[in-house]
A = this chain, B = another copy of it.
Amino acid sequence: MLELEERIRRDGTVKTGDVLKVDNFLNHQMDVELFQKMARQWKADFADAPINKILTIEASGIGIAAIVAAEFGVPAVFAKKSQSINLDGEVYTTKIRSFTHGRVYDVIVSKKFLGPEDHVLIIDDFMANGCAMEGLLEICHEAGATVEGIGIAIEKGFEPGGKKLREQGYRVDSLAIVESMDPETNEIVFRH
């Protein structure tokens, strides 16, 4: 998606350690007008899919997922990190390793909100190694839900996540795929 790529070039900052900071429009401050354009792109790309639920994981996926859910006219569910006393015991659960935060999270989704009747579009802001996505897929499989596709705002194409999931047959729709990026020059090359 050209507009997203241009925005990443304009406002993104490449840091050492393969970090791409886009917190001024994607995952701290949220440019919801851009989110709406992204949502319309996914809606067009998945026009043939009977999607009835958006699934994401807290926290930075939630804003995008809410806007996408509004575009599709379906509810969104966000997987929660770690057990909260406000949740019933009836949950799907898995563990997700976060390289960004250097720790392992317990991730849960209430069984009330995901089941065999669901045709899911999974949404997230970033994909690198795909660990978060594998956790969400595991929860979908446990629920017997059909995964119609995976919508990612920014995929780090030089990390293995996207390749692995596409090889497994998933429809991965990344709106911007970073082929390479240089913390010295801030140059970002996108895959097309």
Contact = CB atoms under 8 A, between A and B. Distances in A.
A76 B30 contact: yes
27 contacts: A21-B88, A28-B77, A28-B78, A28-B110, A29-B75, A30-B66, A30-B69, A32-B66, A32-B70, A32-B76, A33-B70, A35-B66, A35-B70, A58-B58, A59-B62, A59-B78, A59-B80, A62-B63, A62-B66, A63-B63, A63-B66, A66-B67, A67-B67, A70-B70, A84-B100, A85-B100, A85-B102
Interface of A: 19, 21, 23-25, 28-33, 35-36, 58-59, 62-67, 69-70, 73, 75-78, 80, 84-88, 100-102, 109-110, 112-113
B75 A30 contact: yes
Nearest to A55: B29
Nearest to A67: B66
